């Protein structure tokens, strides 16, 4: 299992592959599966914005496409001084498929925050409401 520094480093390394020609806001993510494997993702923008996909969703969907169904934590990296948490759509996807995982936020130089997803998404919509 990689340490949080290694997970953040994987997210930083992935970030350079972001496709953000409109916002110029490149984000990298690395999600750690329960078995220790790490899957990375980057944001991929589209001219219509609504079709843009965030780094967190790319990472978890890549992992799921490889059969992974259990996760421990995710690191998210952006070039900002303040912590950059996952957007609402990403919080929903992460909750649905990863549960109350640890969320590590970082910028290009340091870690900027560490939270359980339940603290960032305190009243989630999930299967218990269906």
Question: Is residue 56 annotated as a catalytic residue, yes or no?
Answer: yes
Which residues are 28's β-sheet partners?
A: 42, 77
Among 45, 56, 96, 111, the one annotated catalytic: 56
| Residue 79 to residue 15: CA distance in whole angstroms | 10
For residues 97 and 105, what is the distance between their CA atoms, to the nearest angstrom? 19
Q: Apex CA 37: angle with CA 97 and CA 46, to 5°?
A: 60
CA distances 14 to 4, 34, 118, 126, Å, are 15, 20, 26, 30
Residue numbers annotated as active site: 56
């Amino acid at each position: 299992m990689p340490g949080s520094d290694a997970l953040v480093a994987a997210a930083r390394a992935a970030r350079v592959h972001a496709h953000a020609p409109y916002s110029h806001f490149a984000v990298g993510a690395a999600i750690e599966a329960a078995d220790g494997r790490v899957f990375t993702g980057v944001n991929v923008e589209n001219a219509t914005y609504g079709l843009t996909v965030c780094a967190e969703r790319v990472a978890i969907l890549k992992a799921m496409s490889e059969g992974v169904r259990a996760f421990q934590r995710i690191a998210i990296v952006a070039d900002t001084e303040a912590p950059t948490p996952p957007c609402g759509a990403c919080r929903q996807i992460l909750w649905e498929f990863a549960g109350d995982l640890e969320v590590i936020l970082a910028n290009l130089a340091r870690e900027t925050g560490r939270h359980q997803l339940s603290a960032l998404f305190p009243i989630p919509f999930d299967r218990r409401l269906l």
